[in-house]
Amino acid sequence: MWAQRFCGQGFGKSARTVLAANSSTRRSRRITAGALHASASVTASDPPKLGKCWLVGAGPGPADYLTMKAVRLLQTADVVVYDDLGSQEALGFAPPAAELVYVGKRGGRESIKQPQIDELLVARCAEGRNVVRLKGGCPSVFSRLASEMAALQVAGIPYELVPGVSSALAAPLFAGHISWPVSSPSSHQAFR
């Protein structure tokens, strides 16, 4: 999204095919922040099997830059919780039956708060569903990963971190501002 607009990058043929095939079902499956709370039916005699949460990096924007693991997880997800940071095109890889929950934040607009996102992840996993929390770039860079991990850990929900290509490193390359590798001896010492 932002990388495509800013850098003029397009999507590869495979991503376009998947996105076109799923574009009509995507709209009908989208759930907004106003419809987040669903009650899980839990009985004392039959505790539910917990789902798992994957905190997945979506890369720098175009779906072509997702990792293979991210694509596999999206293809098998029961729930995909996503934001505005370049990951919306990746939703085309989610199965038609998957619940898509938008939790994007925009300055100056009413949006979901981080504690509500934490609660959502825990609630969906407590229902026995497998959740992909899709975050732009790499989930450990410029995100609220610590809050989501803490909530899952306190609730006893298993989770896994799945790195993505960080937009902090990819954006300059997309824009043509770096003509050499960031690990080059002539680059900044922090990358050596």
Residue 89 corresponds to which tokens in the numbers above?
A: 């095109």
CB count, 10 Å around CB of 19? 18
pLDDT digits (tens, 9 = 90+) for 32-79: 544 544 444 445 566 678 999 999 998 887 888 899 999 999 999 999
Give the model's pLDDT for residue 120: 98
Give the model's pLDDT for residue 38: 45
Give the model's pLDDT for residue 12: 38
Taking the CA atoms of residue 22, residue 99, residue 114 and residue 110 in that order, the dihedral angle to the nearest 10 degrees is 70
- Residues of the chain scoring pLDDT < 50: 1-28, 33-34, 36-42
- Give yes or no for a contact between 95 and 67, defined as CB atoms under 8 angstroms apart: no
Packing angle, helices 114-126 and 145-154, rounded to 10: 40
d(CA 51, CA 180): 43
Give the model's pLDDT for residue 25: 42
Residue 169's SS3 state is helix
| pTM score of the predicted model | 0.70
Domains of the chain and any CATH numbers: 2-31+51-177 (3.40.1010.10)
